[in-house]
Chain A
Amino acid sequence: GDSVTQMEGPVTLSEEAFLTINCTYTATGYPSLFWYVQYPGEGLQLLLKATKADDKGSNKGFEATYRKETTSFHLEKGSVQVSDSAVYFCALNNQGGKLIFGQGTELSVKP
């Protein structure tokens, strides 16, 4: 079945460091791909998405490119801030219209 695998956390970085969170997927067809972010005590918020191969989603300095050849959708940010500390979820929208989530990666940014 469809699945999403993320790198394990927690990831701890210093402010202004470069961030990469790896995400790979297995799916039938060509699903849309998403990154959601969950701040402490809150629900998930859509961070960015990409709907087809080679699309790049971007928002708030975060970027991710839909790579069909490697079935990946890695999240990157050039310079993280303390306020980026959260749990990040990679997800795909399967053919049944359901979101399939990865296990989440906790990011902690230290000043």
Chain B
Amino acid sequence: DAGVIQSPRHEVTEMGQEVTLRCKPISGHNSLFWYRQTMMRGLELLIYFNNNVPIDDSGMPEDRFSAKMPNASFSTLKIQPSEPRDSAVYFCASRETAYQETQYFGPGTRLLVL
């Protein structure tokens, strides 16, 4: 099994630019989560989907952040415009069903906004 795949692994961009992070969940999993990890705030859940539908986006910091899941095998997290305080590691995780509890994490995307 390939596991959760994220791209890019590293992204360096300038303030004001649009950033798109991508995630491919484990095949057959129908829940997907986006997290942000920083030294100051630890791991924060941004949004999660069940069956491609956003269930809880209360962790999305502001309107500059948006997430989509157009199909069961792909999701994006977009930041537009990006700001230096968005610098963090962004993780995607998937779960087999809404009733399974174990989440499987991708390797993360390390984002640096200059």
Q: Are B4 and A99 neighbours in the complex by a CB distance under 8 Å?
A: no
Question: How far is it, in angstroms, between the C-alpha of A49 and the C-alpha of B102 when the chains are bound?
Answer: 9
Shortest Cβ distance from A33 into B: residue:
B101
Shortest Cβ distance from B43 into A: residue:
A101
Q: Are B107 and A99 neighbours in the complex by a CB distance under 8 Å?
A: no
Total CB contacts across the A-B interface at under 8 A: 44
Which positions 26-85 of chain B face chain A at CB distance < 8 Å?
31, 33, 42-43, 45, 48, 56
Q: Looking at chain A, what size class is its interface with the partner chain?
A: 20 to 34
Q: Chain B: interface secondary structure?
A: strand
A17 sits at the interface (CB 8 A) = no
Interface residues as binary, B89-114 with A (CB distance below 8 Å gives 1, 0 otherwise): 00101000010011111111000000
Q: Are B91 and A99 neighbours in the complex by a CB distance under 8 Å?
A: no
| Of A21-29, A39-47, A58-66, A75-83, the one touching chain B | A39-47
Which positions 35-56 of chain A face chain B at CB distance < 8 Å?
36, 41-46, 49, 51
A20 sits at the interface (CB 8 A) = no
Question: How far is it, in angstroms, between the C-alpha of A51 and the C-alpha of B104 when the chains are bound?
Answer: 17
Selected contact of A98 from candidates B42, B56, B107, CB within 8 Å: B56
Q: What is the CB-to-nearest-CB distance from A88 to chain B, in angstroms, rounded to a whole number?
A: 12
Question: How far is it, in angstroms, between the C-alpha of A23 and the C-alpha of B71 when the chains are bound?
Answer: 37
A96 sits at the interface (CB 8 A) = yes
Chain A residues within an 8 Å CB radius of B48? 97-98
Chain A residues within an 8 Å CB radius of B56? 96, 98
Chain B residues within an 8 Å CB radius of A43? 4, 91, 93, 105-108
18 further A-B contacts with Cβ under 8 Å, apart from A99-B33, A101-B43, are A32-B101, A34-B101, A41-B107, A42-B107, A43-B4, A43-B106, A43-B107, A44-B43, A44-B93, A46-B102, A46-B104, A49-B102, A89-B43, A97-B48, A97-B101, A98-B45, A103-B42, A104-B42
Could you list 19 A-B pairs, sorted by A, with CB under 8 Å? A34-B101, A43-B93, A44-B91, A44-B93, A44-B105, A46-B102, A46-B103, A46-B104, A51-B101, A93-B101, A97-B31, A97-B48, A97-B98, A98-B56, A99-B45, A99-B103, A101-B43, A102-B42, A104-B43
